[in-house]
Structure 1
């Protein structure tokens, strides 16, 4: 049974918020105002989060999720992104990619997907995809290239580790990956970097994933040179 989160608690996408005892948003006489990161489902009478952050109540009956969100101008069509599935619908998924609004991902935008064989994707799964439509409308993403192939995109292994870094550092790693190549020559690992500032890593040992995260966060903090970061990586593996 899901635990209902309270005001000022930290929430993740899909968490239920304990606002259900208050008047429904459909009651115009005493309505609730929901800000960024919150959603009301009229069928279940539940309030859920579609973002990461703390539940805030700035004024009576007004609520929002206080967390870092991207502006629409931060990403452009074609950018690779990492998202978290918040909800599965009949023909599509709603995915948190860091925007104020959830992105839509059609279940047919996976390699080999048909009406008979849709992919096995559910809430909490991590998606690596490409931004299909940006701008003022709801963002849309896809997990296939122009030839209908996955090309490395899709649902990522649940045994990986997801974390966030500044967007400028993520883009620097995408376009100048000498550090990641150097570390990969020492210990094999998998990595997916999103232009929305999220990174997913997977390695055979948990210690390796922790060391990789430490090195990447250190680079984000002070942009040390590659040799210093490689030394930090080796020290982290044995400490």
Structure 2
């Protein structure tokens, strides 16, 4: 049984490689397992959990899952999702990825987002919880949008949405997970660091949050948005997170401790 990261064990998926080990292009990393009754999962809830999500660097050939690039095999038990991770600089869109996009074009019914990838993504002006033709967000060029990828194809432009499945929080109240990010600061980090920041109770954000209260949004496309009660703290947090990309863990903790002591 492979090592499992971020929660529950795989459902509908049998790994052939240990989590965290290196996979080469074309190498099989696992197989899809039939979970339909009578031999598989019985309840509709369990069947829903058995949806296997394939992220960047993983392709399907029949029931086999193959690595399409060299990198580390990863699995997120919360979302039943697997991907191959490396430190590539350009983001390749994958279904259900959480990303931070920048509005670069506006049209009557949608906007086009720069998602730091090989291509752009479109976002409908109605792809916000509770949005209507008369009541929808007004997005300007340069606006930051936290959204999820709902279509990813080599032959079509990616599509994004700010609607969170299972949530009814309206975009108007500002309580929705996805939407426009106002104020704060956005920085660019490696794709590997961005994914590590999304791990619950990860050391970087947990360490900083114990010293300075702040809000953040992390996109797997390598963008991180930070906002705190003061501009000074926001700048310090941005520097600290960026340094985590290049420093060993012990050296980074010492750097953060010294930086915060000098700032107080």
Match of 1:133 among 142, 151, 169: 151
Query: What is the aligned partner in structure 1 of residue 205 from structure 2?
Result: 180
Q: In the alignment, does 2:225 pair up with 1:207?
A: no
CA distance in 1, matches of 2:162, 2:256: 33
CA distance in 2, matches of 1:232, 1:106: 45
Query: What is the aligned partner in structure 2 of residue 168 from structure 1?
Result: 192
TM-score, structure 1 length as denominator?
A: 0.65
Query: How many residues matched?
Result: 168
Gaps of at least 5 residues in structure 1 are 1-67
Shift of residue 69 of structure 1? 6.5
Shift of residue 229 of structure 1? 4.8
- Residues 150-197 of structure 1: per-residue CA shift (max 9 Å, x gap): 54110011x210110111011111115232123212221111110000
- Residues 112-168 of structure 1: per-residue CA shift (max 9 Å, x gap): 1011112121111100011111121101111011235454110011x2101101110
CA distance in 2, matches of 1:233, 1:208: 11
Shift of residue 71 of structure 1? 5.0
Alignment of 1:106-145 (within 5 A): 106-136=124-154, 137-145=156-164
Query: What is the aligned partner in structure 2 of residue 42 from structure 1?
Result: none
Gaps of at least 5 residues in structure 2 are 1-87, 170-175
Query: What is the aligned partner in structure 1 of residue 82 from structure 2?
Result: none
CA distance in 1, matches of 2:262, 2:106: 39
Counterpart secondary structure, 1:175: coil
